Amino acid sequence: MAGECLFCKIIKGEIPAKKLYEDDELVAFWDIAPQAPTHFLVIPRKHLSGPAGATPADDALVGKLLRKGAELAAANGAPAFRLVLNNGPEAGQTVFHLHLHVLGGRPLTWPPG
Ligand code: AMP
Ligand code: ZN
């Protein structure tokens, strides 16, 4: 449910987060358990359950999410970076509000575990 969602609560200011960017459609904040020197999340204000929860009506929003993640990476210590979207518990998704991980600031191995 959107109202009980952790990231919806961060958007509403009910749970604190260290924000690095926000506009009318997106919010970006530093991950509470960083996996790299640069690790922040970019989320839409609109509650979508994850990548598979987006519809064609969300195409522009999802495109902006990716572009903004790339733009913010370069401006926050990660000229080389990885963008990650987890979908489903088996893929590592733990918060069911669409979020783009932006990781960088150290060498990143491939493939991920
Ligand atoms: P995922 O596992 O892809 O669903 O990613 C969820 C991410 O949210 C994880 O990297 C968590 O460390 C992060 N996270 C959980 N709670 C918070 C919070 N209150 N503030 C910032 N990041 C959080
Ligand atoms: Zn939400």
Per-residue confidence at 1, pLDDT binned at 50, 70, 90?
low
Domain that holds residue 30: 6-104
pLDDT (0 to 100) of residue 2: 72
User: What is the number of structural domains in the chain?
Assistant: 1
pLDDT of 7 higher than 90: yes
Cα distance between residue 112 and residue 14, in whole Å: 33
Distance CA(56)–CA(44), nearest Å, equals 15
Q: What is the DSSP code string of 19-73? A: EEEE-SSEEEEE-SS-SSSEEEEEEESS---SGGG--GGGHHHHHHHHHHHHHHH
> Is 57's C-beta closer than 6 angstroms to any atom of ligand 1?
no
**Position 3 pLDDT exceeds 90:** no
Ligand nearest to the CA of 41: 1
Nearest CA to ligand 1 atom 15: 32
User: Does the residue 93 lie in any domain?
Assistant: yes
Tell me the pTM: 0.97
pLDDT tens per residue, range 21-70: 999 999 999 999 999 999 999 999 999 999 999 999 999 999 999 999 99
* Domain of residue 62, CATH code: 3.30.428.10
